[in-house]
Structure 1
Amino acid sequence: MMATTMVTKTALFAILLFYMCSISAEAGPAAAGVCYAGCAAVAVACFAAAGFTFGTVPGAVIVATPALAACNSAFGVCEAACMAALFMPTP
């Protein structure tokens, strides 16, 4: 039950990060880089909450573990949202 709660909190944080990156980023490539770093930090925290180390887990284990699949999916959505920041005008 605790792992599910942590994944839920992490998913909510990922959604918050998504909105922060997509609404307030106006620095072009620099903002995209910051956004990507934020996504990775959330993914690392999400994997840690599930008891795994991000970047060391084989794909088959990620697919077979619901908590890791949710972390991986949120990471993909967050990274895709950062693409919007990449095309913002650089002041």
Structure 2
Amino acid sequence: MRTFINFLLISFMLVSVVQAGPAAYGICQTGCNVVTVACYAGAGATMGVTYGLSVPASVLACNKAAGLCMKGCVAAGFAPIP
């Protein structure tokens, strides 16, 4: 029984209270969207418009950058908040 109690005490000491960052995730997603809209505007396009099969390379570059930005937001969502 004593070994079990020691195990629990050590386990509780190793666990730290960490809050995930859902607010940070949302802020990051918003930032990505703002930059993506600006990228589209710089490319002379409108975000959300369907181009069919002939998508301009500049729009594809904006999409790729937006995807990478959103991927980075996942890390922000799970990063601990001090």
Shift, 1:60, TM fit: 3.1
CA distance in 2, matches of 1:52, 1:28: 33
User: What's the CA shift for 1:52?
Assistant: 1.1
Pick from 73, 76, 79: which aligns with 1:82?
Answer: 73
Give the paired residue count: 64
SS at structure 2 position matched to 1:60:
coil
User: Is structure 2 residue 32 aligned with structure 1 residue 39?
Assistant: yes
Ranges in structure 1 where 5+ consecutive residues have no aligned partner: 1-25
Q: Distance in 1 between matches of 2:44 and 2:50?
A: 11
List alignment gaps of at least 5 residues for structure 2: 1-18
TM-score, with length taken from structure 1: 0.62
Which structure has the highest helix share of the two? 1
Amino acid aligned to 1:43? T
Q: Structure 1 runs of 4+ off > 4 angstroms?
A: none
Work out whether 1:52 is the aligned partner of 2:52.
Answer: no
Q: Secondary structure at the match of 1:53?
A: coil
Bigger Rg, structure 1 or 2: 2
With normalisation by structure 2, the TM-score equals: 0.68
Aligned-pair Cα RMSD in Å: 2.0
